[in-house]
Amino acid sequence: MSETRSPREVFHALLDGITAGRFAELAGLYAEDAVVEMVFEPVGPRRLEGRAALRERFLTVGEHSPLDLGARNVVVRATDDPEVVVGEWDYDVRHRTTGRELTVANLQVLRVRDGLIVHSRDFHDHLALAGLLGSLPRPAAR
């Protein structure tokens, strides 16, 4: 019988899967009813609910993203809640087609129960990534 992963181990499994491009495996780290909030997402959904929605999102990203991501400066902080960890890191990002590169800061607050992510609040620099992809959103009209 395998041992249940700690919140810290789940965070590292998620980050390792993303940087290795194993997007098809990532939904398995989430509970069936997980909620992910992408607080600074400028154009796409800011909230995803359920493992099925997350699986679809990860597969879409995996199939269509021209970006290579490398994580560095990774720090995982425990909180006074044993289910919650806060991960901070930088992504070194490279566009495979254009060769353009940049570094973006990230912060993620994960609640992990029984070895699965039940809630995540993600703070990524989506605007910088959109700029690298050449898909900056247009400002809303006033």
Give the SS3 label for residue 30: strand
Q: How much is the pLDDT for 137?
A: 63
Q: What is the pLDDT of residues 65-124, one digit of tens each?
A: 899 999 999 999 999 999 999 999 999 999 999 999 999 999 999 999 999 999 999 998
> pLDDT confidence of 1, banded at 50, 70, 90?
very low
For 56-81, give one letter per residue: b (16+ CB within 10 A) or e.
Answer: ebbeeeeeeeebebebeeeebeeeee
Domains of the chain (ranges, CATH numbers) = 7-133 (3.10.450.50)
Q: What is the pLDDT of residues 58-70, one digit of tens each?
A: 999 889 889 999 9
